[in-house]
Amino acid sequence: MASVQGRLVHLDFEDNDDRMVLIQSRRFKNIDWLENGMAPASVLAWLDAYFAGRNIPLPMEDIDMRGTDFQKSVWQALIDIPLGTHISYAGLAEKLNNPKAVRAVARANALNPVSIIVPCHRVIGSDGTLTGYAGGLVRKRWLLDHEAQMMPVFA
């Protein structure tokens, strides 16, 4: 986790240090950020609830997603994917009224700064298979299965 001025700017898996260094050098060149759990209490509470199987509102006011307008539109579309469901990259591009932008959508998905909170793991291949995920396909499968188990609680 990393934060800038009290807002979460990056959330990734512990074994993705190389990715974190790359993101910091590209997106946050001139910004001091705090690492290792320095996240707003609301974000930590959301993560605790999520992993406990409870769905609570996202604390978006404490998250600073830095990117282009297009990337931010993709990330918002990811947030809008209902818990326990998934969509293809092509479906996400269509949802954004830009069906030819499948590759750009996939790239923005890959650049998601706050894994899990912005649920890029809910995007799958058009044929229904699991495709790339920065946290690895085993984690992606676990997250999707976890969310499927959460569904009966909220139905």
Residue 120: which CATH number?
Answer: 1.10.10.10
What domain range is 91 assigned to?
2-154
| C-beta separation of 100 from 93 below 8 A | yes
**pLDDT-above-70 percentage for the chain:** 81
Q: Report the pLDDT value the prediction gives residue 155, as an integer from 0 to 100.
A: 43
Mean pLDDT in residue range 95-123: 94
Could you give the 3-state DSSP secondary structure of residue 148? helix
* Lowest-confidence region among 2-16, 26-40, 83-97, 120-134: 26-40
The residue ranking higher by pLDDT, 146 or 26, is: 146
pLDDT band at 36 (very low <50, low <70, confident <90, very high): low
pLDDT band at 154 (very low <50, low <70, confident <90, very high): very low
As a residue count, the chain comes to: 155
Flag whether pLDDT at 94 surpasses 50.
yes
The arithmetic mean of pLDDT across residues 123-136, rounded, is 90
pTM: 0.84
Give the pLDDT score at 123: 96
First to last CA, the chain: 31
pLDDT digits (tens, 9 = 90+) for 57-78: 999 999 998 899 999 999 999 9
Pairing state of beta strands 2-4 and 7-10?
A: antiparallel
Q: Report the catalytic residues.
A: 120
User: What does pLDDT average to over the chain?
Assistant: 85
Query: Residue 58, Cβ neighbours under 10 Å: how many?
Result: 17
**If we measure between CA atoms, which residue out of 51, 49, 139, 129 comes closest to residue 89?**
129
Which distant-in-sequence residues (6+ apart) come within 8 Å of 150 by Cβ?
Answer: 53, 54, 55, 83, 84
> What tokens were used for 74?
């993709």
3-state secondary structure 13-46: CCCCHHHHHHHHHHHCCCCCCEECCCCCHHHHHH
Of 37-41, 131-135, 150-154, the range with the lowest mean pLDDT is 150-154
In the structure encoding, which two tokens stand for residue 78, read together?
């990811």
Number of domains in the chain: 1
Residue 102 DSSP label: H
